[in-house]
């Protein structure tokens, strides 16, 4: 009982420290009482423009505008005799839009990836018995990720051998358990 109370106190103390760090990093209220993460955004002009372009390009109105541009281009084909210049206009326009959209899409994916990783880190940090060495695992090199993958594959195989698929332990514990079972057999 005393051990469980010590663990609970230690968890509460470490969780309070994490909560303090998260509170310092959390967005603060802006001029009108909205969180900075809301619709009112502060920050560098380029970031605000990229955010606005990302929001606008994902709307039905943006799609309708793109369809309208293509329709106007098709309708004006006979007026320009389907000339090389007429074709060059749409090719140039679509190339420019595609070039810019690649960067907007990558920006959005990077931001979403960071947000998902932070949420997963929070879950791992909050989960009792979880290995905290997986927090910020996305920052590891490919070689380090391969080592971790091999570790967890080995741990899963040992758990299958022992019939303890839901057990949470290290490879060393799983190997010792497997050896003990072999000795009994």
Tokens of 76: 């004006």
What is the per-residue pLDDT for 65? 96
pLDDT category of residue 29 using cuts at 50, 70 and 90: very low
For the cut 80, the answer to whether the pLDDT of residue 5 exceeds it is no
Is residue 25 predicted with pLDDT exceeding 60?
Answer: no
User: Whole-model pTM?
Assistant: 0.55
In this structure, what token pair is assigned to residue 158?
A: 């040992």
Write down the domain spans for the chain: 41-131, 140-185
pLDDT digits (tens, 9 = 90+) for 113-140: 989 988 888 888 887 777 777 788 888 8
> What's the pLDDT score for residue 160?
80
Segment 149-175 shows an average pLDDT of 74
User: What is the dihedral angle through the alpha carbons of 132, 138, 140, 143, rounded to the nearest 10 degrees?
Assistant: 110
Q: Among all chains, which residue has been given the structure tokens 């541009």?
A: 69
Least confident of 2-11, 98-107, 109-118, 149-158: 2-11
**pLDDT given for residue 12 in this prediction:** 44
* pLDDT confidence of residue 133: 74
Ranges of beta strands (E only) in the chain are none
Residue 99 has a pLDDT of 97
Tokens standing for residue 142: 């490919």
Cα distance between residue 86 and residue 73, in whole Å: 8
Q: Where are the alpha helices (DSSP H) in the chain?
A: 2-25, 45-57, 60-76, 84-126, 142-162, 171-184
Residue 121 is given by DSSP the state: H
**pLDDT for 71-127, tens place per residue?**
999 999 999 999 999 999 999 999 999 999 999 999 999 989 989 988 888 888 887
> Count of alpha carbons within 13 Å of 120, Cβ hemisphere only?
13
């Amino acid at each position: 009982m005393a051990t469980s109370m010590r663990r609970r106190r230690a968890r509460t103390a470490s969780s309070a420290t994490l909560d303090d760090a998260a509170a310092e990093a959390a967005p603060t209220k802006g001029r009108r009482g909205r969180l900075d993460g809301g619709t009112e955004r502060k920050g560098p002009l380029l970031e605000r423009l990229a955010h606005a372009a990302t929001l606008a390009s994902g709307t039905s109105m943006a799609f309708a505008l793109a369809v309208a541009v293509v329709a106007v281009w098709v309708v004006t084909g006979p007026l320009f005799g389907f000339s090389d210049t007429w074709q060059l206009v749409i090719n140039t326009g679509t190339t420019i839009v595609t070039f810019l959209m690649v960067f907007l899409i990558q920006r959005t994916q990077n931001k979403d990836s960071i947000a998902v990783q932070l949420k997963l880190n929070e879950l791992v940090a909050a989960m009792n018995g979880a290995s905290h060495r997986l927090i910020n695992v996305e920052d590891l090199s490919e070689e380090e990720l391969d080592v971790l993958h091999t570790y967890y594959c080995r741990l899963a195989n040992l758990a299958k051998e022992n019939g303890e698929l839901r057990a949470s332990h290290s490879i060393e514990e799983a190997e010792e358990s497997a050896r003990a079972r072999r000795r009994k057999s």
